[in-house]
């Protein structure tokens, strides 16, 4: 089935989200839609899935024009979508989730669960999507939940499958497994539209690439194009993808400036989200914490700033125990904090850029004196920061919510770096940030290190960790699996991220990569635990490194992927 979009235009008020986009998806191809956040990829796919109506343009299916008024029409036409945030009911089983919205009944309205189970099993076997139809979705790791979404689409006979940023929540190994599934779907003649902004993945899997910038198609490419070329197309200028930095200029015997000792932090349900974590950071050194989203990194960062109570352990900065201090005291002690979700935790969208630039300094001279704020000082500060950090905004009075993601992040970074720091903690410092702003933010972080500050970077993007960190700590289920030097291989870190200790004999045989479409029976599969409703296969089963973690923590993993 070939799908053509012709001249699709979509406007939201004065904003043109899609501007005359042409796109052709051929049968049996993996078509990558590459673009920065906010380039209009998701809008385009939502139009294709019937969630938005285009203002202009046509959608052609096998040459016939198609009107899609809602997801129902899209599904009927053979278009399936896997959203970035899964649309699953956690307390239902896999089979129940799959039948949801398309319930087949027997006599007297009884749900035909047996048939649903059979269908799930058939699809799983056919495309190598290993999943237990009777497992509760809440108990499944994120990667398997994603498979359930794919099965849902396939069971409705989707011949064009849209995957919206599917790898954002996966470990490198899970990503490889997803790619294997995608290849087997391609061989079965199904088409896939793969939305992403990660260049490596595009090169690994795409047959053809369409690059979108500011709502318009700016070019097409083949996977043999270099990453720099693709990034250039995506951003519209030449970019450097590597971070320029000298190795850390600290000797290993410098006493640490910041230490976390045996830290345990509980999540809302009373489980240990951070479980006995210890590490040191020396002045002038960047420690990067790698890990799949939802393995306790958020809680760790929040505990360091004091937003979350510490159940056990200590946090020490420059010899001073901060464990019992309030966030305000810690900020005063010189912690600069860039939270992972800027809109949720760092910015007030309706307030001006100027006000957001003093959000945690508002009551300190020169901005605030004896209960009164000095508007002139605040504005002068704003003009200076906007200039220094190259924040692209119409004016300093513009509500910060009107800025692009990258510029919003620059506001946060500018604020946190505009006072003398003794420690910088930055979680996902470049999430949802365009490549240009990313370059800039990385440069500033390294500059902060070179001033002799300890820096803690928490990121789920391995590229970012490799680019910035002087040492890498890998977190898995609340524990630090290992702290390794930055020249450690990607595979090694990937295994740690999945909870396996590569050097141990148990872990070594576990996670072979099911690459190359060598069939569904991976070795991870053979390790499948048989406990009732337990987590299924995936490289996670290689978690014979075990830790006795329960299903509940997997739920936590899944939740971690959701924005609130």
Partner 1 sequence: MSEQAAPVKDTATGEPPRPGRFRRLAAQIAAGPPWVVTVLSILLAMLVGAVLIIASDQEATAAFGYFFARPGDSISASWDAVSTAYQALLRGAIFNPDSASTVTDALRPISETLTEATPLIFGGLAVGLAFRAGLFNIGGQGQLIMGAIATTWVGFTLDAPAVIALPAAILAGLGGGALYGGLVGWLKARTGAHEVIVTIMLNYVAFLLLGYLIGSEAFRDPDNPQPVSKPVNEAARLPHLFGDSLRVNAGLLLALAAVVFAWWLLNRSTLGFQLRTVGANPNAARTAGMSVGYGQTMAMLISGGLMGLVGVSQVLGTANANNALTQQIDAGLGFTAITVALLGRASPVGTVAAALLFGALQAGGREMQAAAGVSIEIVTVIQALIVLFVAAPALVRGIFRLRGEGEGSTGLLAKGWNG
Residues forming the site for partner 1 (CB under 8 A): 13, 305, 307, 326-332, 337, 339, 344-352, 355, 359-360, 362-363, 368, 371-373, 375, 397, 399
Cβ count near 516 (within 10 Å): 10
Q: Measured from the CB of residue 343, what is the shortest distance to partner 1 in angstroms?
A: 8
**321 closest CA partner among 277, 276, 266, 259:** 259
From the list 52, 138, 64, 127, the residue with the least C-alpha distance to 94 is 138
CB of 14 or CB of 251, closer to partner 1: 14
d(CA 4, CA 479): 48
Find the DSSP H helices in 156-257.
172-187, 199-205, 227-235
Residues 6+ away with beta carbon under 8 Å from 461: 428, 430
Minimum distance of partner 1 from residue 317's CB (angstroms): 15
Considering the complex, state which of residue 324 and residue 546 has its C-beta at the smaller distance from partner 1: 324
- 160, 50 Cβ separation under 8 angstroms: no
Is residue 472 within 8 Å of residue 494, measured between CB atoms? no
Residue 32's alpha-carbon distances to 26, 117, 157, 201, 466, in angstroms, are: 12, 32, 21, 9, 25
Task: Please check whether residue 514 is in contact with residue 546, taking contact to mean a CB–CB distance below 8 angstroms.
Answer: no
Cβ of residue 403: shortest distance to partner 1, in angstroms?
A: 15
Nearest distance, CB of residue 360 and partner 1, angstroms:
4
H-run or E-run covering 311: strand 310-317
Q: How far is the CB of 341 from partner 1 (least distance, A)?
A: 9
- The torsion angles phi and psi of 313, rounded to 5 degrees, stand at 100, 180
The whole-angstrom separation of Cα 435 and Cα 239 is: 7
Q: How far is the CB of 303 from partner 1 (least distance, A)?
A: 13
Kindly state the smallest distance separating residue 13's Cβ from partner 1, in Å: 6
Q: Which of 136, 145, 141, 156 is nearest to 81 (CA)?
A: 156
Whole-number minimum distance, CB 350 to partner 1, in Å? 6
Q: What is the DSSP letter of 485?
A: -
C-beta closer to partner 1: residue 68 or 426: 426
Choose among 353, 350, 374: nearest CA to 362. 374
Toward partner 1, which CB reaches closer, 93 or 408?
408
Task: Please tell me whether residue 279 adopts helix, strand or coil conformation.
Answer: strand
- As measured in angstroms, the least distance from the Cβ of 397 to partner 1 is 6
Q: Which is nearer to partner 1, 120 or 353 (CB)?
A: 353
Instruction: Decide whether 241 or 380 has the Cβ nearer to partner 1.
Output: 380
Residues with Cβ < 8 Å from 90, sequence gap 6 or more?
A: 136, 137, 138, 555, 558
| Smallest separation, CB 334 to partner 1 (Å) | 12
Q: Are 40 and 16 in contact (CB under 8 A)?
A: no
Please state the length of the chain: 564
31 vs 342 by CB, closer to partner 1: 342
In the block, residue with structure tokens 């490198």: 172
In 3D, which of 387, 392, 424 has the Cα closest to residue 409? 392
> 399 vs 486, which CB is nearer to partner 1?
399
* Dist. CA 155–CA 149, nearest whole Å: 10
Are the C-beta atoms of residues 38 and 404 closer than 8 Å to each other?
A: yes
Q: How far is the CB of 362 from partner 1 (least distance, A)?
A: 5
Strands 285-290 and 454-458 turn out to be parallel
Identify the residue whose tokens are 């649903």: 116
Closer residue to partner 1, CB minimum distance, 72 or 344: 344
Shortest distance, position 419 Cβ to partner 1, whole Å: 12
Task: Provide, rounded to whole angstroms, the least separation between the CB of residue 222 and partner 1.
Answer: 42
Q: Which is nearer to partner 1, 331 or 446 (CB)?
A: 331
The residue (of 375 and 447) whose beta carbon lies closer to partner 1 is 375
- E strand spans, 92-251: 160-164, 191-196, 208-213, 216-221
Using the minimum distance from each CB to partner 1, give the nearer residue, 204 or 349.
349
- Of the pair 222, 269, the CB lying nearest partner 1 is at 269
């Amino acid at each position: 089935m070939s799908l053509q979009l012709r001249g699709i235009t979509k406007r939201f008020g004065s904003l043109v989200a899609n501007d005359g986009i042409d796109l052709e998806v051929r049968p049996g191809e993996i078509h990558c839609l590459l673009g920065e956040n906010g380039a209009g990829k998701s809008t385009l796919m939502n139009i294709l899935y019937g969630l938005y109506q285009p203002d202009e343009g046509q959608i052609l299916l096998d040459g016939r024009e198609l009107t899609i008024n809602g997801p129902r029409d899209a599904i009927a036409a053979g278009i399936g979508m896997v959203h970035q945030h899964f649309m699953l009911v956690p307390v239902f089983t896999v089979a129940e989730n799959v039948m949801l919205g398309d319930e087949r009944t027997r006599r007297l309205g009884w749900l035909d669960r047996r048939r649903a189970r059979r269908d799930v099993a058939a699809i799983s076997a056919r495309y190598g999507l290993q999943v237990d139809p009777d497992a509760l979705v809440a108990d499944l790791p994120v990667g398997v939940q994603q498979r359930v979404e794919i099965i849902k689409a396939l069971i409705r006979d989707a011949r064009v499958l849209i995957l919206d940023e599917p790898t954002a929540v996966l470990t490198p190994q899970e990503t490889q497994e997803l790619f294997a599934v995608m290849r087997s779907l391609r061989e079965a003649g199904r088409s896939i539209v793969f939305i992403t902004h990660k260049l490596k993945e595009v090169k690994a899997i795409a047959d053809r690439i369409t690059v979108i910038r500011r709502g318009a198609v700016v070019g097409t490419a083949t996977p043999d194009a270099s990453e720099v070329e693709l990034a250039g197309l995506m951003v519209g200028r030449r970019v450097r993808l590597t971070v320029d930095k000298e190795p850390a200029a600290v000797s290993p015997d410098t006493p640490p400036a910041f230490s976390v000792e045996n830290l345990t932090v509980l999540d809302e349900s009373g489980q240990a989200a951070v479980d006995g974590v210890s590490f040191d950071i020396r002045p002038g050194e960047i420690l990067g914490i790698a890990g799949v989203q939802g393995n306790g990194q958020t809680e760790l960062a929040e505990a360091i700033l004091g937003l979350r109570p510490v159940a056990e352990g200590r946090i020490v900065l420059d010899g001073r125990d901060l464990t019992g201090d309030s966030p305000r005291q810690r900020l005063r002690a010189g912690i600069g904090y860039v939270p992972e979700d800027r809109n949720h935790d760092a910015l007030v969208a309706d307030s001006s850029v100027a006000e957001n630039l003093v959000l945690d300094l508002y009551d300190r001279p020169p901005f605030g004196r004896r209960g009164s704020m000095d508007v002139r000082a605040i504005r002068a500060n704003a003009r200076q920061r906007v200039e220094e950090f190259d924040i692209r905004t119409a004016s300093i009075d513009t509500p910060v919510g009107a800025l692009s993601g990258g510029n919003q992040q620059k506001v946060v970074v500018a604020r946190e770096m505009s006072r003398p720091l003794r420690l910088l903690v930055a979680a996902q410092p470049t999430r949802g940030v365009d490549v240009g702003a990313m370059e800039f933010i990385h440069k500033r972080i390294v500059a902060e290190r070179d001033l002799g500050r300890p820096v803690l970077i928490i990121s789920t993007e391995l590229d970012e960790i490799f680019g910035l960190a002087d040492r890498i700590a890998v977190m898995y289920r609340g524990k630090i699996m290992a702290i390794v030097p930055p020249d450690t291989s990607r595979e090694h870190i990937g295994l740690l991220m999945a909870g396996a200790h590569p050097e141990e004999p148990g872990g070594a045989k576990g996670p072979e990569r099911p690459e190359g479409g060598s069939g569904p029976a991976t070795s991870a599969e053979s390790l499948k635990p048989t406990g009732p409703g337990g987590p299924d296969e995936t490289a996670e089963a290689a978690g014979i490194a075990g830790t006795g973690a329960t299903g509940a923590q997997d739920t936590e993993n899944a939740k971690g992927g959701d924005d609130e």
